[in-house]
Structure 1
Amino acid sequence: MGWGSCLLGHDSPVIKNSILKALERGFLQQYETDEHRLLSERFCAVVPCAEKLRLVNSGLEATMYATRIARAVTGRRIIIKFEGHFHGLNDSLTWNVDSSPRSGALLAGRELERLSGTVGIPDEFGNLTVSVSWNDLEALDNAFEKYKDDVAGVILEPVALNIGCIRPDEGFLQNVRALTSRKGALLIFDEVLTGFRANIGGAQKDFGVVPDIAAFGKAFGCGMPIAGIAGKAEYMDVIAPRGPVQVSGTNTGRYLSVSAALAAIEHLQDGTVHRHIAALESRLKAGLRDVFDKHHIPCHIDGYGGRIGVHIGTSERPRTMREIEHFYPIDFAQKLFALLSREYNLYGFLMPLSYCPEPVTLSASHTTEMLADACERLDSALKRVQYHAK
């Protein structure tokens, strides 16, 4: 499912027809077309924070530029992020992505020891990124106090889909919004995974919290490569040519991708697709609970926008990545995943990462019959794999 990109399926007529129509006019126009203008107008009409939109190629670029904007607007250096939240593999944000399994230490004030998510990033980049645990408002407040007037922004996934599916605590996003406003830092929502999946306005619409800037990708293009940075005009206007911040690229706003994204946003407008996916999500969560209960396997299941986190090993809602790493039975999960993939043709189903589950991803092309069949295969596979806790 393209890590959440294929909201309409792998071969949606909506996307295919938009591309074929666009090909009649060529596949790369270096400057904006009517479709670019229409896409921006449609986008800004439905996304709460979006007074202006700037197109880029990927979620990585969108989050990278969003932090650049925050630094330019505030004149500060530090970006605060949350452990386990993944914002693309750019040098300044690939920190504490999977730090818990590597025993990253808790420092004074509940700040996390800086651990890079890949080799090849100089430690100096870590000096500009501060990581704290998800849902830990005290740690966030402490970080603001420690770094005082040098915090440019806070970036987060409004629903932590990169560690399964962990929602914010009640009132957490509202408190983060209030704290960033009080401290003069920008609040950045990474909606690359949440955007357009549950509703056309993004998670910010669901939770009623409007960030200063938001990054979108994946389901924005429904399989075509496109992403965007959206935000309040006063912040977006620092981007050239109005302002001094450079955001550009040869393939930025490629015509084929713009045509597909415009077709997708118009198709999603009436809510039919989102209602269908919500019904599928509810059906699959219930089916998975029944199967795991039948086999007496503790499991917490939650979902957002048709992406379902299956947290094997606990019946309680985890709040942080460290809690997940503590109970998640990686050996069992790997054996189950291998069996499902190789012998039951459930590819990517209940995929374990090294420290947490990858969400099961639904699309508008799935049916209730497919979900029932998947649960039957899972039931059969669990008869052959002995569950053991971590």
Structure 2
Amino acid sequence: MSMQKIQYKYRRENLSESEPTKFNYENLASEEMLINLGPQHPSTHGVLRIEVVTDGELIKEVVPHLGYLHRCFEKHAESLPFNQIIPFVDRLDYVAAMNSEHAYVMGVEKMLGIENTLPKRIEYIRVLVAELNRIASHFIAIGTYALDIGAQTPFLWLIRDRESIQRLLEWVSGARMLYNYIWVGGLFYDLPLGFEEKCLEFVNYVKPKLEELKQIIIDNHIFINRTANVGVLPMDLAINYGCTGPVLRGSGLKYDLRRVDAYSVYPEIEFDIPIGEGKMGKTGDCWDRNYVRLMECWESIRIIEQCLDKLTKDHKRTRDFDPQAFVPKKIRPVEMDFYARAENPKGELGFFFRTNGKTDVPTRVKCRACSFHNLSVLPEISKGWMIADLVAIIGSLDFVMGEVDR
């Protein structure tokens, strides 16, 4: 039966015009209901409408409905020069805007052939701020997930610690969430004086907080009971749906573009790629996806420490350093089709450009949104679970609707 025809269905028997309506309640448990989550509901993590067909509390079908936060990103980008698109990139995954900027800018630089000409100080600063933003994004993911399944205190603690990162990124860029800091060919500005010291203070502060976070959430008995063996995403299904990031790595595949594509200065930095191993249930369940995000926070801390070491020793600030020295005045690539990608906190963010070689405005722009692909697998891993489990499954995918709808 089509989704449009599914209604609250109760069989009526022995009805006549003189009798009031009677319903057969004997088989009520087998009757299907159509209910909606969202589009304004905390569990949908944004303006997302989820149409759910249930048999009592059991889920039979799930259909996500998108488009409530359409940014018109691609059409906006096709009417602007390349360097003016960056503020619109910020508004895709607004929880990880610095990472999105990094992906877009590297794509344009590769298209221009200038990706290997930038000073190492610029590259290390880019990786530094991107990894700070990665931790902030994962803090939102884990904190709101704990809130979804009934734990309020961890959410407040993570928002408190995320605020320290927001202040650092606001200090370096002048903006709180939508930064426009990483430019094609450089940066908006060098790190402020004293930034490295303050960043190191944050690193030393947050390490015991991550240990605490593991104890009160990830290793919590109630959390394990709510997430282990729930919403299991097999590796082959994740690959077929194009899932990436912690959603894919939670299913056991060690796939990270920072290693696979080895872009920027990541080949010079030591870090591991955490994957789901089914420690508390089956590999690829909700617990594994959250475990991977927490472990990635530790790896980002390692990357930040190495970047700070490089920026204070091998690539120190100098009086004549100009972060805008390599910013091209006019971006006019030759006629081509080009695709570039990078590892965002939620997965592979990619940009396709088509240029005609005559103007600095792209002819066609397409964004490959990792949140869209991760959300698309929701109907497959939700069938047969309870409504309360559906809320847990949705949160474990960690999507942002600005990026889904684009």
TM-score, normalising length: structure 2 = 0.25
Compare CA radii of gyration and give the structure with the larger one.
2
TM-score, normalising length: structure 1 = 0.26
